[in-house]
Amino acid sequence: MKVIFKLMVVMICMASVVQAQDRPQVFEGAEIIPITGEPISNGVLVVQNGTITAVGAAGSVSIPRNAERFDMTGKVIMPGIVDTHSHIGEGDGGDRSAALHPDVRILDTIDPRSSTFIKALSGGVTSVNIMPGSGLLMSGQTVYVKPKPANTIEEMLIIVDEETGIYGGLKMANGTNPLRADGSPGTRAKSAALVRNMYIEAQEYKAKLEEGADDPEKMPDRNLQMETLVEVLEGKRIVHNHTHRHDDILTAIRLADEFGYRLVLQHVSEGWKVADEIAASGYPASIITLDSPGGKLEAINLVNKTGGVLEEAGALFAFHSDDPIVDSRFLRRSAIMAVKEGMSRDMALRALTINGAMMMDIDDRVGSLDPGKDADFVILSGDPFSVYTHVEQTWIEGEKVWDREDPEDRKYATGGYEIYRAAANHHVHMEGH
């Protein structure tokens, strides 16, 4: 009897846990900005099992009887911010042993316990494209993650293709950064030639793979560099190309056109000079805004009007932080500065959310508050474009992962850079994260 009683207790406890996980969550009274539709002044957002099940105006949405209800009166709810170019997580990439490292995976170097992820959450960032650096023509494979608490990087991955398991793109760069010694090119022309030669090699490898599918004796030896580039050629992996000057932007477009791969133009500091050409190419641009322009000479013409010019030209674009260039906590401010320089509010919001999701092939899951999508959203204290507005809470897949009211979380929104220093990260996590 005692055994039966214990089993009954265990079953009841398990049922309670499942019921708690299944219990709907209802956020009501806030202004809801779904991105794919008009803002809802007195909105209702319903979440269950980490997924959005309903969104609409009060009175038009059925509220489940057993729901956990949150009064959000006076707040603003918008989708989590998508950062299309960041360096949080303390990862690295290829080295100077060669100019091209398509086989290198930043996945293998990221610290999932890094406090830089909490920094991103404090800024409302819920999806990130983490990149290797730009000192090489190809510095390695990027990784798409959600910066949620995790013990392993695998728990954070956003899988783009379930069949192939692809979870990121390929970082490429042109312009001044890759012009180095020790095997790297010394001119822009040589840079393009090296890239072109490697893609030709990849085309030949792809042809051998196709022959080997019918005749195993013709199957080539496995080549990790070529495997990555074949994924690029097949459109399964997107190239994220660091580029600044207008002529470098056009070279990046020219190479993508030549080999037929998918491309996101990263930075485009002089994109305003060739906005029509970018729009005509069909390739999207991931842009950065700065309140203190400066730095490298090739970015001297970076201006915050670029987004507005790209919008007028009809190009698809999104904002990125390039953290630590722009602190992840302040990525929303990029939209504020762009609107100040002529961009529409609606486009600025899209450039923080759904546009970036499209550039990472994850817009079926994130980027807008639509039924069926992941419940990744941010609760703001007010207008997204006000400098007085704070991120109050950040939610990922129906779980509150950051709360300004929690003193341990709050310090990541208000503290200085010292709390993100790599040497202190593990100590910080040991004490609370």
Tell me which DSSP letter residue 426 carries. Answer: H
As a whole-number percent, the residues of the chain with pLDDT over 70 amount to: 90
As a whole-number percent, the residues of the chain with pLDDT over 90 amount to: 82
* pLDDT for position 182: 64
- Note the pTM of the prediction, 2 decimals: 0.91
* pLDDT for position 44: 97
Rounded to the nearest angstrom, the gap between the alpha carbon of residue 299 and the centroid of all alpha carbons in its chain is 23
Residues in the chain, total: 433
Look-up: residue for tokens 């930075």? Answer: 267
Mean model confidence pLDDT for the chain: 91
Query: pLDDT tens digits, residue range 291-337?
Result: 776 678 888 888 999 999 999 999 999 999 999 999 999 999 999 99
Q: Which domains does the chain have, with CATH numbers?
A: 2-74 (2.30.40.10), 81-366+412-432 (3.20.20.140)
For helices 345-352 and 306-313, angle between their N-to-C axes, nearest 10 degrees: 100
Three-class SS of residue 317? Answer: strand
Query: pLDDT tens digits, residue range 99-116?
Result: 999 999 999 999 999 999
Give how far Cα 205 sits from Cα of 104, 155, 211, 224, Å. Answer: 18, 33, 10, 11
**pLDDT surpasses 80 at 117:** yes
For helices 246-259 and 188-214, angle between their N-to-C axes, nearest 10 degrees: 20
Half-sphere exposure of 266 (CA within 13 A, CB side): 28
The residues pairing with 81 across neighbouring beta strands, listed in sequence order, are: 125
